[in-house]
Amino acid sequence: MPLSTPFAVASADPADGSRLDVAGDLLALLRAAGTEPRPDIQLEALTLAVAADLPVLLWGEPGIGKTAALTQLAASLDLPLTTVIASVHEPSDFSGLPVVGDDPAEQGVPLAPPDWAVRLVRAGRGLLFLDELSTAPPAVQAALLRLVLERRIGALRLPPGVRIVAAANPRSSAADGWELSPPLANRFVHLPWQHDHEVVVRGLGGTWPRATLPRLDPEKLPQAVAYARRAVCAFLTARPPLVHRLPSGETRRGGPWPSPRSWEMTLCLLAFVTAAGSSRDVLSLLVRGTVGDGPGLELLASLDRLDLPDPETLLADPAGAELPERGDLRQAVLDGVVAAVRERPDKSRWDAAWALLVRAVETGAPDLVVVPATSLAALRCQEWQVPASIEQLAGVVSLAQRADRAAARAAASAKA
């Protein structure tokens, strides 16, 4: 009895080929998309880090568009894209495969690089995309250390025209994810990658934001380097514990944290941001992605105080002093003046400080002088005569103190 088949096999129709061609045309139309210049903080931070030749690691949930962003970036920069899935490779794929020659005792055993590395060297330029980094086991992460930092794969060295960008999913959403080892994490600029619904809608409509390299002003390059060095060195001089601080938790060790290496990267990024004239938001993303949120925010706050007027200059000419408009910066300047008088107390300097506080009251919020005035009054020697300018501050200080007492009473009654 012959076996029956559930499906009949139709003979090939010559028209099937043309139908697939039409389907291919439709797919080509669906994939066709244009670009437009659009402000995008994430994209600008990424292109700045790529221009600075620093390895970048994009963190984001699966399906959020990290790979698509890297593909579009490579196309915009006219760089050939080489994608390597780190989790499906062996450690020897990054450290080099040993090849035994004719006389190993004399010539040694060379380490042959993989084919994708050879193609990058032949091209002389390109974008190396290390995808799924958080699913790479520790042995593979160890093999990646030399590639990311020294750009060496076996006996081969990648040319300067090659940029390295990686992508990873958080461990909670990664397939069999691993935490990044601290040595590997400290070699990257970590950028959180999040979707913008307006960008997604515009992209699905056929227009994506365009990635362009930053325009660096040639005239600003020396000043940008000097400013970055002064800012980072001044900050680390004031905060020595932050030069190197390895986080205690395993998860935080797999992210950005401060070390001499990451501070060098921060200095480089600060110079690039300054020369490019990028926004404070872009700088914040890059700095916090290099040394961590805490040290990064402290550095950003110190930048505001970097160009504050010297207290000695203000004491030398209080009548012509120009104080910052922002309240926090003005408060910092006045506190610095009081600290300068405390360090070198003198009747003329004490009088000049009072004159400066009067000017602060005349040109800004009076409540900012309450604490400096109280501290300055405590520095008075018994033989020093009280300057007449204090009378102009007496009402302000008294009113502020009464307001503080009233607020304290109100809080106490509310608590009761």
Residue 328 and residue 402 in one domain: yes
Q: Which pLDDT tens digit goes with each residue over 65-80? A: 788 888 888 888 888 9
Residue 252 and residue 376 in one domain: no
Residue 271 and residue 198 in one domain: no
Q: Which pLDDT tens digit goes with each residue over 79-136? A: 899 999 988 888 888 877 777 666 666 666 677 788 889 999 999 999 999 998 888 8
Residue 280 and residue 339 in one domain: no
CA proximity to 140, closest of 66, 190, 67, 84: 84
- Of the listed ranges 1-5, 27-31, 214-218, 299-303, the least confidently predicted one is 1-5
pLDDT > 70 fraction of the chain, expressed in percent and rounded: 85
CA 371-372-377 angle, to 5 degrees, is: 100
Residue 78 and residue 186 in one domain: yes
How many separate domains does the chain show? 3
Establish if 295 belongs to a structural domain. Answer: yes
Establish if 80 belongs to a structural domain. Answer: yes
Record the tokens describing residue 288, joined without a space. Answer: 């916090």
Q: Which pLDDT tens digit goes with each residue over 339-367? A: 888 988 888 898 888 888 888 888 877 77
User: What pLDDT shows up at residue 122?
Assistant: 92
Residue 52 and residue 125 in one domain: yes
Q: Among residues 264, 279, 306, which one ends one of the domains?
A: 306
Residue 192 and residue 288 in one domain: no
- Of the listed ranges 15-24, 86-95, 367-376, the least confidently predicted one is 15-24
The helix/strand/coil state of 308 is: coil
Residue 83 and residue 129 in one domain: yes
Q: What is the domain-level CATH number for residue 201? A: 3.40.50.300
The arithmetic mean of pLDDT across residues 371-381, rounded, is: 84
Please report, as a single letter, which amino acid is at residue 202: R
Question: Which domain range does residue 229 map to?
Answer: 218-306
Q: Which residues of 287-305 are buried (b: 16+ CB within 10 A; e: fewer)?
A: bbbbbbeebbebbbebbeb
Residue 199 and residue 235 in one domain: no
User: What pLDDT shows up at residue 403?
Assistant: 40
CA atoms within 13 A on the CB side of 273: 24
pLDDT > 90 fraction of the chain, expressed in percent and rounded: 30
Q: Which pLDDT tens digit goes with each residue over 166-198? A: 999 886 665 566 888 899 999 999 999 887 788
Contact 290, 296 (CB under 8 A): yes
Residue 272 and residue 251 in one domain: yes
